[in-house]
Structure formats: structure tokens, C-alpha cells
């Protein structure tokens, strides 16, 4: 299945029950309060640098029942800084709604490749990215203390408990 990324493509699949699924999920309850003022997008640090992520558009699509919004890269660009939530005049918890959308995407196996790689790195090293040996050597040369090491046993237990392998292994619907 090709991942549909444009708004035009998203409008082709309407699921009238989708917004109710969001409203029932913890964090999605305030979705219905949005009246599209655009404050979330105006305050979003990511929206300043890309046309792909416009929180108010994502919210609008979700309210319309455009289920394909979970297949877009847009929801994954939210960094959950909560600037939008803090400034929303209607009290919409925009960052929480984005988290719900990400969770729905994960349930459907739609995880961008970079997120899968981040997760794999966390399981291996305890960090989102692997710190190069050259950086560790520079720290040592400058007399900086070693970086904290992840408790690999704890990470392995957590990975087994929540079956993280299914999220790291490339799925049929991952975007990239």
C-alpha cells in the first residue's frame, strides 16, 4: 500500500467513526473543541520550518473523519513541546491528540523508518542515536566525564514486556 501524504489524497477516504475513536482515546477528548483558529500552527516551532506539519490541518482532517491522516508523515513531526496546548484558546490538548494519532498509526503498523531506527538504537545503546567513538574520544580529551550508560538489562526486560521487536522490525505499511 502506498502511503498517502497529500491532503487531496486524504480526502478520498472518509471514516465517519474515526473522530469518535479519537474522542474516546485518552488524550483525544478535547478534539471536538477546536474551531480552527490556527493558534496551534502559529505557535508550533516545527510548522515554522515545514509546510508538511500544520497542527490545525491535522486536527481538521481528524474531525472530518479522514482516517488516512494517521498514514501521513505530518503527525510524526510533532515533537510534543506543548506550545500549542498551552496557547489554545479553546483548551484543545493538541499535543495529546497528536500522540493519539501516532498511537493509532502504530496499532496499524505505520511507523516511519527513522522512528524504527531510533527505537532500535535506544534498545542497543540507550540513546536515540549511536554516539560516535570520535565524540567520546573528544569528551575524554577535554576531561569531561563519561556519558551515562544505559541499563541494558532493564531495556531488554522492557523490550520483552511490551514486545518492542514488532515495532523495530520493518512492517508492511511503514513510511520513510
* Fold topology of 7-107: Fumarate Reductase Iron-sulfur Protein; Chain B, domain 2 (1.10.1060)
For residues 55 and 42, give the distance between their C-alpha atoms in angstroms, rounded to a whole number.
Answer: 9
Q: Which three cell numbers stand for residue 89?
A: 484558546
Work out the end-to-end distance of the chain between its first and last CA atoms, rounded to an integer number of angstroms: 13
Contacts of 121 (CB under 8 A, 6+ apart): 127, 128, 129, 130
CB-count burial class (<10 Å; 0-12, 13-18, 19+) for 24: exposed
pTM here is 0.75
Closest CA to 87 of 28, 35, 41: 41
For residues 143 and 151, give the distance between their C-alpha atoms in angstroms, rounded to a whole number.
Answer: 24
The pLDDT assigned to 85 comes to 95
Q: Which three cell numbers stand for residue 132?
A: 560516535
- In a structure prediction context, what are the per-residue pLDDT tens digits for the chain, which is 176 residues long? 344 455 555 556 788 899 999 999 999 999 999 999 999 999 999 999 998 899 999 999 999 998 888 888 889 999 999 999 999 999 999 999 999 999 999 888 888 888 888 888 888 888 887 888 999 999 999 999 988 888 878 888 888 888 877 777 764 444 44
* Domain spans in the chain, listed from the N-terminal domain onward: 7-107, 113-168
The pLDDT assigned to 2 comes to 44
Amino acid at each position: 500500500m502506498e502511503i498517502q501524504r497529500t491532503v487531496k489524497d486524504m480526502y478520498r477516504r472518509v471514516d465517519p467513526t474515526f473522530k469518535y475513536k479519537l474522542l474516546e482515546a485518552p488524550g483525544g477528548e478535547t478534539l471536538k473543541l477546536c474551531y480552527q483558529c490556527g493558534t496551534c500552527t502559529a505557535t508550533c516551532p516545527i510548522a515554522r520550518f515545514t509546510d508538511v506539519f500544520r497542527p490545525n490541518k491535522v486536527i481538521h482532517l481528524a474531525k472530518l473523519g479522514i482516517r488516512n491522516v494517521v498514514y501521513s508523515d505530518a503527525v510524526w513531526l510533532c515533537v510534543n513541546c506543548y506550545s500549542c496546548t498551552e496557547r489554545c484558546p479553546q483548551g484543545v490538548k493538541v499535543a495529546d491528540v497528536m500522540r493519539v494519532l501516532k498511537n493509532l498509526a502504530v496499532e496499524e503498523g505505520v511507523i516511519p523508518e527513522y522512528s524504527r531506527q531510533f527505537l532500535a538504537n535506544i534498545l542497543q545503546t540507550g540513546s536515540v542515536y549511536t554516539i560516535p567513538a570520535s565524540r567520546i574520544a573528544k569528551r575524554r580529551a577535554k576531561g569531561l566525564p563519561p556519558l551515562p550508560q544505559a541499563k541494558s538489562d532493564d531495556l531488554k526486560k522492557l523490550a520483552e514486556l511490551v514486545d518492542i521487536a514488532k515495532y523495530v522490525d520493518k512492517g508492511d505499511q511503514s513510511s520513510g
